[in-house]
Structure 1
């Protein structure tokens, strides 16, 4: 039997976001964000036409939810403050109903021994700002800094762990390259500008935080380890390095090192796509790096050298002009999400952070398994027996434990997610939660088998095999 024990005061919990859990209710004062708008325009793009207004009813069930967190062993929980709920137009007047809600939510977490981890931006751009360009506009950077300062002033006396963005690569790639987020463009030049503006906004928020607060502030990055098809083939290795620069180091480097990766800058210069910026912007990014890194890990990226010559055109260059994806035979898959399950990836990320990023304090901020049709696994007592999720968690924790034993400075593990929640255009197609949510019964909650497992995991600060 092998015993996996984690460091003292390890953070056990889960992650979610305001737009994915809160929902919308009459007279709640929330303004429209891009998801509210897009759903009204094209409801057919959303699985079963379920929109963000049905997002798990967390706005009215939060006290029950926090009791369920306690029952499933949480000592910490990450969510986000919805920009469009707190400041309905992105700038201007503050929604006092939102202030009361978030105050009560935070107080309730603390009263139940659950450390609040609060993220600021989780893909929920207020429509009024999107109409002026969204992250393409410097006005949005200024508005975001105002939003961040407002949050720090309102809640910073109790919240000691803040995060500027969740997965900032996603608004760039989803909204401006691969068309799975609004505004559905395919324009690498715009994607580069969006990424730069997000990095600058993050640094400016960090600067404001350190001027007035005494907690920790970081960023949540989806770090997808990139593996070459053949590590002994220089062309495959080069292709993997370029993919890593586009999708990982583009945010890791400025967040932790205060500068952008040189190989990526070289490519962007060759494409004549250097984003609009000033020398002062670069100084702000250089001087205002993170205290604490959140790592979201779901799957690896496997890459090979281009089999054909680079096919970019003057109008539509793409990152994939520099590499091809490699479909590795025999890989383990989650067939519902279409993602490879590769547990060792979590170890490789931790070692990279240890060796290449100064072993900055970090935690696993998301890791999870989405499964469609979980009602197939309901037992006679009405509980979902999600043994596959328990094995998924254990498999990743074994490798995380090994990385910590080898010196990785990892302080916690947050599962995605606490309860089944709304997931953008996928809505509730794939369920990730420790808690099942029944939308037909106003969001009725039921603990899954994995929820009871997680309680034991937290109680014993580890598990045995």
Structure 2
């Protein structure tokens, strides 16, 4: 496969505040749920994001490296508690100034900022009140977003409300490996609903300001596929799509939940009394301008066989037999294709998923602009005797996915940008620091020295060769 993307395509990498910033208690920042979790007894592995990659102090160096690497965009997130440190709602001028400086540095280096307002970290005080599960969450989130929209306005051309509602909710309230470390399916469904309402309320605040910027949401897409084409498998596929995708993308793009979702939830014993007509009205009138898709793999499903509803991520790593996947009682469960390669964390490597996903969005949602807001490959790695990081396996992964992306754009999909995950190595949530995704290596033992990997240089050249003049 060959081809080029259209002129004006955004090429970059992605990061997130808690995973890369550090400075967890500097500059007037308040405590987040992740600060609380990482400093508490539930953090059995002991890793924290207190320092992470220290983007807070080294953002100028990192943004310069982006420019030198041929990037024209950076996706990063704002820490809610840097802007609003406590429950009073009083704005922290130091936090605003920090992000103003980051945006200025981006402008001066020709980097378009794509900024996420919620990437897993919420205020600790809000977590203590029930966090995402408390109905006040959507209003508190909208208040915070309003402050950000007012403070930064058109300095940010692309705003993202929420990152990965699905993964966030499932890890926090199904597996229970992310704070608040709960396993409760009824609570999970209410959290999912509250996140959809929160997105719509944030967009409502955005629209009031008549900005020229655009607002979207970032979803972790898993194109749902089956290995057998039978009626039972097709039912499992639809239910897998509802669980993995449609409860986020339908309300965000179409302004309504899928018609078959609520009846299925009730059939499964879920109490939906929290659904309010006024919320549905807000959802109907506040939809996104663009869709961000974090694309790593596909979701392979089969008809439900047995077991309680749960999500099984592999946070253990190489050498373990854990298969990443889901069981949703009565709906579906994860299937495994024995013929496809898997990474060290048992995740299937299936590059065509990005093409299938983009063609599916075109079919379901028409011409909505789409950005691949994350795509990356985790490795255990360290520099060789020459101080170089030769991550050929990552290069092969990125190249294969990008070839399918270019094919989809050439076939009429409105895909407008691509962000490799991640800019630098960073705190990979409860996986800690051994699981590396960055195009730039962070030497945690030697003053967080930045070492561009082989993939960094490869990406620079790929961008040059695959963009129309």
* Structural mapping, 1:163-178, within 5 Å: 163-178=160-175
Cα separation, partners in 2 of 1:236 and 1:37, compared to 1, 3 Å: same
RMSD across aligned C-alpha pairs, in angstroms? 1.9
Does residue 1:348 correspond to 2:359, yes or no? no
Would the aligned equivalents of 1:225 and 1:348 in 2 still touch at CA under 8 Å? yes
SS at match of 2:257: coil
Structure-2 residue corresponding to 1:192: 189
Which of 74, 85, 91 matches 1:94?
91
Structure-2 residue corresponding to 1:274: 272
Residue 273 of structure 1: how far off its partner (Å): 2.3
Query: Under a length normalisation based on structure 2, what TM-score does the superposition of the two structures give?
Result: 0.92
* Structural mapping, 1:365-380, within 5 Å: 365-372=373-380, 374-375=381-382, 378-380=383-385
Extract unaligned runs of 5+ from structure 2: 311-325
Residue 312 of structure 1: how far off its partner (Å): 7.4
More moved, 2-11 vs 20-29: 20-29
Residue 320 of structure 1: how far off its partner (Å): 3.9
Q: Aligned pair count?
A: 451
Cα separation, partners in 2 of 1:348 and 1:312, compared to 1, 3 Å: closer
Cα separation, partners in 2 of 1:203 and 1:6, compared to 1, 3 Å: same
Which of 114, 127, 130 matches 1:130?
127
Residue 92 of structure 1: how far off its partner (Å): 1.6
* Structural mapping, 1:283-298, within 5 Å: 283-298=281-296
Measure, in 2, the Cα distance between the counterparts of 1:229 and 1:459: 38
Deviation string, structure 1 residues 187-219 (Cα, Å, up to 9, x no partner): 111111111111111111111111202211000
Which of 300, 303, 308 matches 1:302?
300
Measure, in 2, the Cα distance between the counterparts of 1:300 and 1:254: 22
Structure-1 residue corresponding to 2:458: 453
Structure-2 residue corresponding to 1:217: 215
Residue 177 of structure 1: how far off its partner (Å): 0.8
Measure, in 2, the Cα distance between the counterparts of 1:265 and 1:277: 10
Query: Under a length normalisation based on structure 1, what TM-score does the superposition of the two structures give?
Result: 0.93
Extract unaligned runs of 5+ from structure 1: none
Structure-1 residue corresponding to 2:317: none
Normalized per residue, which structure has more helix?
1
Would the aligned equivalents of 1:23 and 1:55 in 2 still touch at CA under 8 Å? yes
Would the aligned equivalents of 1:365 and 1:413 in 2 still touch at CA under 8 Å? yes
Structure-2 residue corresponding to 1:61: 58
Residue 300 of structure 1: how far off its partner (Å): 1.2
Deviation string, structure 1 residues 32-88 (Cα, Å, up to 9, x no partner): 111111111137533xx2201021111000011110111111100111100012111
Would the aligned equivalents of 2:304 and 2:328 in 1 still touch at CA under 8 Å? no
Residue 174 of structure 1: how far off its partner (Å): 1.0
Cα separation, partners in 2 of 1:61 and 1:312, compared to 1, 3 Å: closer
SS at match of 1:146: helix
